[in-house]
Structure 1
Amino acid sequence: MLYNIIFIALFIFVIYVFYKKYSKKAKTIPPHWHSILLKEVAFYKNLEPSEQKRFQDRMMQFLAEVYIDSVDFEIEELDTILIASSAVIPVFSFKEWHYPTVTGIIVYPDHFNEDFEFSNKSESRRIAGVVGTGRLEGKMILSRKALRHGFSNKTDKGNTAIHEFVHLIDKMDDNIDGIPEILMQNMNAIPWLKLVHDKMEAINNDKSDIRAYGGTKQAEFFAVASEYFFERPKLMKRKHPELFKMMAECFRVKF
């Protein structure tokens, strides 16, 4: 009897938390954000006006569900816009989407090390973004410098914030392993894994234009390839047609 009471109480608490998080009313987007999005976010710029409105709504819903905090600097409007855009872009083709594995985004002014130190005196400040674990479970940590670079550089194939949100998508089946089950429901994982391993081998043999970090493990390949896919889709389609096709199926995107 006591076990049943505890179970019911726990169930009610989980439902309450879930409802409280996802029932938050999104604010109306500030009108001037449209011009900022047109200037800064190519994905948004290429959408039809009706789809731009849907993108705006998805941004504001995301911002209603998470908090954004900063360390040693004040978050600016542009930072908020770019973070929300990064969250929406990979899942824009899905009718409804929430990120249940993240509650907050913490932004550092620059790259940081494994101890989350970012001052000029800190050594090995190579990390641009990370999905938190342990005491930072449910958090994403981003470098503001990397965040802005990901959108300002129109010729590279990288976007740190999109990379980290793709990790969150991959994590929704409890494993960040490069096989995002929620995206691959109608796909055969075996051809995907073979392609991934072939591409990783090419990276590690210096025979690919895909960023070297993608050759370290499956999960990183998926995130790096996703950056490439959303940043330079035409280039990926030309240089990696099979990979492009599989990524388009995963994200349900037509460029």
Structure 2
Amino acid sequence: MVETIIVFLIIGLIITGILVSPILTKQRINRFKHRPFPPLWNAIIENNLPIYPRLSPDERRRLQGHIQVFLAEKQFIGCKGLQVTEEMKLTIAAVACLLLLNERGEYFPKLRSILIYPSIYIVNETVATGDYVVEERRVARLGESWSKDQVILSWEQVQQDTRNWSDGHNVVLHEFAHQLDQEDGKAEGVPILPRKSDYPIWARVMTEEYQQLCSDVQRGIKSVIDNYGATNPAEFFAVATETFFEKPQQLLKQHPSLYELLQRYYQLDPVQWV
């Protein structure tokens, strides 16, 4: 009797959608990608993503398809009383899906939920300050990426970043670059690359550029790449991605090898959008 009740409960949950996997099948992905894109959505993205009108017609079409899949797969959760709106979902999805225009066929597969705070949020962080000494601190955050299933964002910061597209700072690009990096379970500045032969080239260029940034920071030399990229290789990849999309001309001029590496990986040339 108990087993029968459990079976009916499971069936009921499946019908209501609670146990349905958020990862879509290839057939459903194609169906979402080829749906007509609502004019209102297009208007919202044009208003909130400065580079959107500069994309080629093919890039816009592909981005629209990816946005529809992304919105179907991921759930958005408001925190601290924030009511999530269509504008919030579309803005975040549009920026995140720029990273998918290389048609890699995956939609941040480990990601299930995007948590949105109204502004800066506070977390408790445990830090080792010495041998056998651990200190708990309260730290302000604008965003973070979890390797398992979540990205957390400050909506205030998302708005600031989209309004100031060319300043080289973008929390959505940054955290979703971490998602790409974390797909293999590790955050080390090396996303999954198309071919095995790509890894030695990636390692050489990224190591050289990371070490150069670390040296520049130590010597007080200003770089187009934000100093935060010198934290570790994972942060360097995320910051380099921000720079690639927001300051492509400067990155190409000052770090041509890095620009060309990211251009091959993302299959995009943002210089053409300037």
Equivalent in the alignment of 1:148: 159
Counterpart for residue 24 of structure 2: 22
Tell me how far 1:99 sits from its aligned partner.
1.2
1:95 deviates by 4.9
Please tell me whether residue 36 in structure 1 is matched to residue 44 in structure 2: yes
Distance 1:76 1:217 in 2: 35
Aligned equivalents of 1:242, 1:182: Cα separation in 2: 17
**Change over 3 Å in CA distance of 1:227–1:191 after alignment to 2:** closer
Match of 1:190 in 2: 204
Aligned residue in 1 for 2:180: 169
Task: Report the CA distance shift for 1:146/1:90 in structure 2 as closer, same or farther (over 3 A).
Answer: same
For residues 92-131 of structure 1, the aligned pairs below 5 Å read 92-115=101-124, 126-131=140-145
From 194, 215, 224, the counterpart of 1:201 = 215
Q: Quick check: 155-164 or 95-104, which moved more? A: 95-104
Q: Please give the alpha-carbon distance, in whole angstroms, between the structure 1 residues aligned to 2:167 and 2:138.
A: 23
CA contact (8 A) 2:158 2:170 kept: yes
CA contact (8 A) 1:183 1:251 kept: no
RMSD: 2.4
- Mapped to 2, the partners of 1:95 and 1:178 lie a distance apart of 18
Cross-structure match for 1:6: none
**TM-score, length-scaled by structure 2:** 0.76
- Contact 2:99/2:266 (<8 A) preserved: yes
Q: Indicate the structure with greater strand content.
A: 2
1:41-75 CA-partner distances (Å, limit 9, x unpaired): 23422222233122111101011111001011111
Q: Is the 8 A contact 1:111 1:127 kept in 2?
A: yes
Distance 1:191 1:51 in 2: 27
Q: Secondary structure at the match of 1:234?
A: helix
Could you tell me how far 1:124 is from its partner in structure 2? 5.5
Name the CA distance, whole Å, in 2 between partners of 1:103 and 1:46.
30
Residue 247 (structure 1) aligns with: 262
Task: Kindly state the Cα deviation for residue 128 of structure 1 after the two structures are TM-superposed.
Answer: 0.8
Equivalent position amino acid for 2:262 in 1? M
Residue 251 (structure 2) pairs with residue 236 (structure 1): yes
Instruction: Please report how far the alpha carbon of residue 225 of structure 1 lies from its aligned counterpart in structure 2 after TM superposition.
Output: 0.9
* Long gaps (5+) in structure 2: 1-18, 126-136
2:116 match: secondary structure? strand
Q: For the pair shown, which has the larger CA radius of gyration, 1 or 2? A: 2
CA distance in 1, matches of 2:122, 2:92: 21
How many angstroms does 1:107 deviate by? 0.3
| Cα offset, 1:92, TM superposition | 0.8
TM-score, normalised with respect to structure 1: 0.81
Cα distance in 2 for residues equivalent to 1:252 and 1:186:
17
SS in 1 for 2:45: helix
What is the rounded CA distance, in whole Å, between the counterparts of 1:163 and 1:251 in structure 2? Answer: 14
- Alignment partners' CA distance in 2, 1:183 and 1:205: 36
Determine helix, strand or coil for the equivalent of 2:103. coil
Which residue pairs with 1:4 in the alignment?
none
Number of residues of Structure 1 aligned to a counterpart in Structure 2:
230
Equivalent in the alignment of 1:86: 95
SS at match of 2:140: coil
Q: Which runs of 5+ in 1 are unaligned?
A: 1-16, 117-122
Distance in structure 2 (CA, Å) of the matches to 1:132 and 1:19: 19
Residue aligning to 2:67: 59
CA contact (8 A) 1:203 1:214 kept: no
Give the equivalent residue in structure 2 for 1:159.
Answer: 170
What letter is aligned with 2:84? I
